[in-house]
Amino acid sequence: MGNSDTEPATGRHDPDCVFCRIIAGEIPSERVHEDDQLIAFKDLHPQAPVHVLVVPREHRRDVTELAQQPDLLARIATVAGEVAATHADGEFRLIFNTGASAGQSVFHVHAHVLAGGKLAEGAL
């Protein structure tokens, strides 16, 4: 099982994936939401006053792979809205980076929720 941009992970959990390790509780995170499908936690290097990552518990490489599960993709959008409503003014930017050249550095699909005031153009 791998975590590189060329080797796909298999199964529901990749022991080499940092997000799988966060989900398993092996790496601490500041969680702001947790349910049976997703966790959401504060980004360690925020690009906005509110910068939360919404991550499915099940390992999927990127949003194109996640698109095969439209209900889960919709759930991510719903949780993003809830996070923005709770931690900011309810307005937010939702970003999925897909592929290394697009800025994806962890190859476990995750959505960036950016909120908390006027966001700069080009953030993330």
Catalytic site positions: 110
User: What's the full length of the chain, in residues?
Assistant: 124
The residues, ordered by sequence, that sit 6+ positions from 110 with a Cβ below 8 Å of its Cβ are: 19, 53, 54, 55, 96
DSSP string, 110-122: -EEEEESSPPPTT
Q: Facing residues of 40 across strands?
A: 33, 54
